[in-house]
Structure 1
Amino acid sequence: MASESPLSPDETRRYARHLVLKGFGGAGQQKLKSACVLVVGAGGLGSPAIAYLAAAGVGQLDIVDPDTVSLSNLQRQVIHTTGAVGTTKVESAGAFASALNPHVALDLHAEAINEKNAETLIGACDVVLDGTDNLVTRRLVADAAERLQKPLVSGAVSMFSGQVTVFAPHLGGPRHAALYPDEADDDALPSCEANGILGPVTGVIGTLMAMEAIKLLTGVGEPLVGRLLVYDARDARFSEIGY
């Protein structure tokens, strides 16, 4: 877990807008500083989530992704740059987060999350964000998070729309299978590679994922447990589905 030390003078200036925010303040900021978040996937959804979690002052970000940055990523994966093409996504993500906020500790894993390492990776943190694009990985992450009683923020995007929810069975919410039953396969998930994706949609959903993580860590507001928030970019509409 991250440091529980008091805010430094630099941090006090950096987080000034949080510290004066009624209902958040110093207590909320200290909770963020003491927290660890695991981000599974440093791509379209992970990019804005990492940016806003680092900026907000989460004490430790653990990032896991086996891929390297490619040119086609840059239309939506905004923490990576042209100069980072060919480097690992976790290296590029770590460089971005460090440049944005040197107070954030980083633990970078240039590997896929799998049955052997999932519990170790998830067990080290307080909240998990999953922005991966296949149900095998999503189920693996959800199962491990449930066993370890860690809340899981899950997002998905395709074409002009996206969705976000929070799985937290240990808090009384439904299990992952309530939304993605065992008979569902990857055809049930949106595929950016096959269908395309308008870049800003990933920004909307990834930022919402960061917001849900901050709510879970600080106790501010009502997380999206048992609620699927759906965004339609073309009609500029949000809708909510219970499950």
Structure 2
Amino acid sequence: MAIPPLVEPVDRLSAAESVRTARQRRLPQLNELGQRRLANARILVLGAGGLGSPALLYLAAAGVGTIGIVDDDDVEPSNLQRQIVHGVTDVGRPKVASAAEAIARIAPEATVIQHSERLVAQNAAAILGNYDVIIDGTDNFPTRFLVNDTCAALGIPLVWASVLRFDAQLTVFWANPPAGSGITGVHLRDLFPTPPAEGEVPNCADAGVLGALCGQVGSLMATETIKLVTGIGSPLIGRVLVIDALSGRFSEVPLVGTGIAAAPLPGESPVPEASGVPEITTPELVARLAARSAGLDDFLVVDVREPSEHAETAIPDARLLPLDSILTAQGQASLPRDLPLVVHCHTGTRANRAAIALREAGFTDVCVLTGGIVAWNDAAAVAADAT
């Protein structure tokens, strides 16, 4: 199952990045274009621990341009058996600071954003909403369900794994994939409908964990992320990879989406709803643009892509306001509240996140262009062939 690339490419790699990633760029599936997509990607790793450590190192080595780290813990001696991003001299230091320094030693051009705080319902959407892919390396079910529900609400793919003793599970959740992608939405609640009761599942501190297995799984999480960003291979969507390290066996379990909406954890504030953002098709937008030209309609098209993307191709009279800006109060203040807004991006993921943020900010008439600029350009090409 192939998917479209999640991230648009930067214009060019720096000379240093070209040299450093030379072996990877020689892969025909990834090549120079895929490497430029990685350079423009924003990836968030939750937890600089056993799974997050190898994932962070390999994302940095792969050339990911922006890496966020969420962790509010300090390094402890018992962490070093599996949390390879840290060393003995880091004991007592914040994990985000130690991990950021390790990334800088591998990829000094990477931008590292340190979130030295605990992820809770009140800050989850604000933090996760700034990234293209989320990697969940957390070790407790309440946080895992919060991350899943927030990603489901924002339409962000989630690379998820769990390791205990000699066993591991790995999959990719994407509750709201782009329209027309052919992907069936699936998320954590399709695998575990409700969080287990406290104490029902042992943790690594009580049951133990093989450090080398954490390295295997964290590296696989980085691989799945690279595939999503660049649009290569077949992501683990709808499939759970099960690893038995003692027997050396890898197996797969199919996972089918149930369509059950994500729900907030008991006692926590709900995250924005995943559904309910209206969509407008390209033919419908064309008709509305014609009506606007005739003075019969009035609305604003908002392009939430990056300036380089907008410069290549754009919808006539669309206002450029990149996603990073539209998620801020200043960016939202630049938009009219008395006009309907039609938001679009490349295929729909960023636009959906922008629309949710705008509706949360009080914009009442917001819709998303189905299929984004890709659908718009496809329709234009068909029209040109017809003439």
| Category of TM-score, reference length = shorter chain | over 0.9
Q: Does 1:201 align with 2:213?
A: yes
Shift of 1:4: 2.7
Q: Does 1:27 align with 2:23?
A: no
After the TM superposition, which of the residue ranges 185-194 and 66-75 deviates more from structure 2? Answer: 185-194
Greater RCO (CA < 8 Å, at least 6 residues apart): 1
1:1-243 alignment, distance < 5 Å: 4-171=10-177, 172-182=184-194, 184-185=196-197, 187=199, 189=201, 191-243=203-255
Q: Deviations over 1:33-62 (max 9, x none)?
A: 010000000000000000000000000000
Check whether the contact 1:3–1:59 (CA below 8 A) recurs between aligned residues: no
Aligned residue type for 2:46: V
SS of equivalent to 1:193: helix
Q: Aligned pair in 2 of structure 1 residues 183, 104: CA closer, same or farther (>3 Å)?
A: closer
TM-score (ref. length: structure 1)? 0.96
Q: Is there any run of 5+ residues in structure 1 with no aligned partner, and where?
A: none
TM-score (ref. length: structure 2)? 0.61
Aligned residue type for 1:191: N
Alpha-carbon separation, structure 1, partners of 2:228 and 2:202: 26
SS of equivalent to 2:176: helix
Q: Aligned pair in 2 of structure 1 residues 74, 100: CA closer, same or farther (>3 Å)?
A: same
Alpha-carbon separation, structure 2, partners of 1:33 and 1:43: 24
Q: Aligned pair in 2 of structure 1 residues 228, 49: CA closer, same or farther (>3 Å)?
A: same
Q: Aligned pair in 2 of structure 1 residues 86, 180: CA closer, same or farther (>3 Å)?
A: same
Alpha-carbon separation, structure 1, partners of 2:30 and 2:197: 40
Check whether the contact 2:168–2:217 (CA below 8 A) recurs between aligned residues: yes
Q: Aligned pair in 2 of structure 1 residues 41, 189: CA closer, same or farther (>3 Å)?
A: farther
SS of equivalent to 1:29: helix
Aligned residue type for 1:80: H
Alpha-carbon separation, structure 1, partners of 2:222 and 2:200: 24
Aligned residue type for 2:175: P
Alpha-carbon separation, structure 2, partners of 1:179 and 1:102: 38
Alpha-carbon separation, structure 1, partners of 2:32 and 2:236: 24
Check whether the contact 1:229–1:239 (CA below 8 A) recurs between aligned residues: yes
Check whether the contact 2:8–2:37 (CA below 8 A) recurs between aligned residues: no
Q: Is there any run of 5+ residues in structure 2 with no aligned partner, and where?
A: 1-6, 178-183, 256-387
Q: Aligned pair in 2 of structure 1 residues 196, 21: CA closer, same or farther (>3 Å)?
A: same
Alpha-carbon separation, structure 2, partners of 1:208 and 1:218: 15
Check whether the contact 1:2–1:60 (CA below 8 A) recurs between aligned residues: no
Check whether the contact 1:40–1:131 (CA below 8 A) recurs between aligned residues: yes
Show the counterpart of 2:299. Answer: none
Check whether the contact 2:48–2:69 (CA below 8 A) recurs between aligned residues: yes
State the identity %.
Answer: 44
After the TM superposition, which of the residue ranges 167-176 and 48-57 deviates more from structure 2? Answer: 167-176
Check whether the contact 2:13–2:36 (CA below 8 A) recurs between aligned residues: yes
Between structure 1 and structure 2, the one with the greater Rg is 2
Shift of 1:187: 4.8
- What is the RMSD of the two structures over their aligned residues, measured on CA atoms? 1.6
Q: Aligned pair in 2 of structure 1 residues 3, 215: CA closer, same or farther (>3 Å)?
A: closer
